[in-house]
Structure 1
Amino acid sequence: MNGDELAGVVDLFGALTRDELHDALEELAFKRGDDFDADAADETVMDALRDYYLVAVDREGGDRVLVPGPVAFPELPENAVDLPHILDVEPRDLDRETLAAAVRARLESDAADADDERARYLVDVTYDAEAWAPVDLADVRESLTE
């Protein structure tokens, strides 16, 4: 499963915890008749987080959820449309300011130790993020291009 498909699964609900996304991926594997590999699923989620297809956001109440990130073009994998009927998860909506703060913090952290290749990627992410949430990342871009 690619980052856009993971974002599509999360987008069905607005946001999912890691455990809920894990359950959704397990259900999709079952529906496809595939064996579910939890380690591979975790690695795919980590890749999607690293590449900003997903963003982790702390919600009020202390729980952390994953939302479709600024580089994602969410698409539904096969059989995903049934997930809201299968999983016991209420739809969630996070305000754009919360998303903006989360992506800013993450980009600032990533920019601090990015090599040249990663810095070029992150510059592109800053532009995507500005279209995705109300955030000005010119200062982060500047630090990445120095």
Structure 2
Amino acid sequence: MKNKEELCGIIDALGALNIEELYSISKELSLLRDDVTLSESSIRDMCDEAEKGHLVAVVSWEEVAGLEEDEHSYYIPGPNAFPEVPFELSEVIDILQMSEREVDLSKAADRFHSNLHKRIKNLESKIDSLEQGKACFEDLEGLEEWYSDILNQYYDYSFWLQDDMSDLESEISTLSERIESLKSA
């Protein structure tokens, strides 16, 4: 696996994969390419970076059709994924005897919505505490970055998921107004 685009391509081709499966695929790809194998921790780091950029999203076994209860997190293609399927992937899938998995995005959407709502509430709490005291420039920069990430996630997920997330729009707008108020104080 060369980059995040290939990571997305592999996940997109198979629907949902956990770290161990991604590592197995990466090992087989490396053997076929006569290349260096990435460590499992390197793959985890790549997945973490891809998740931050909304290239992949994490779901539980409950959101993947046909899985038994387990402790794994599964990566699925995210709203910003631009998958690049490795040429050798079909051979790797045959070698590892893997098959495509279907993800119930409506189940996942409920959790994504809930998690974004929690992030908004956490930022509101931070703003509350700063409004009670003096906000310094570094605090405001951090708030703006946090707000920007929430806003990006909201737009990415609103576009990607079928479920309506518009109920969060007014909360996000209020966050912006409150941050602007802190900046002008």
Q: TM-score range by the shorter chain?
A: 0.7 to 0.9
Aligned pair count reads 146
Q: Give the whole-Å Cα distance in 2 for the aligned partners of 1:119 and 1:83.
A: 41
- Work out whether residues 79 and 156 of structure 2, in 8 Å CA contact, stay in contact via their aligned partners in 1: yes
Q: Does 1:62 align with 2:69?
A: yes
Map 1:42-121 to 2 at 5 A.
Answer: 42-60=44-62, 61-63=68-70, 64-111=73-120, 112=122, 115-121=143-149
Distance in structure 2 (CA, Å) of the matches to 1:142 and 1:4: 34
SS in structure 2 of the partner of residue 89 of structure 1: coil
1:4, 1:108 → 2: CA distance? 29
Amino acid of the residue matched to residue 17 of structure 1?
A: N
Aligned to 2:5: 4
Gaps of at least 5 residues in structure 2 are 63-67, 124-141, 176-185
1:40 partnered with 2:50? no
89 and 141 in structure 1: CA distance in 2 versus 1, 3 angstrom threshold = farther
Q: Confirm or deny: 8 A CA contact 1:17 1:66 kept in the other structure.
A: yes
The SS at the match of 1:93 is: coil
Q: Which shows bigger deviation, 44-53 or 98-107?
A: 98-107
Amino acid at match of 2:69: G
Give the 3-state SS of the residue equivalent to 1:47 in structure 2: helix
Bigger radius of gyration, 1 or 2?
Answer: 2
Normalised by the length of structure 1, the TM-score is: 0.80
Q: Which has the higher contact order (CA 8 A, sep 6+)?
A: 1
Distance 2:164 2:50 in 1: 23
Unaligned runs of 5+ in 1: none
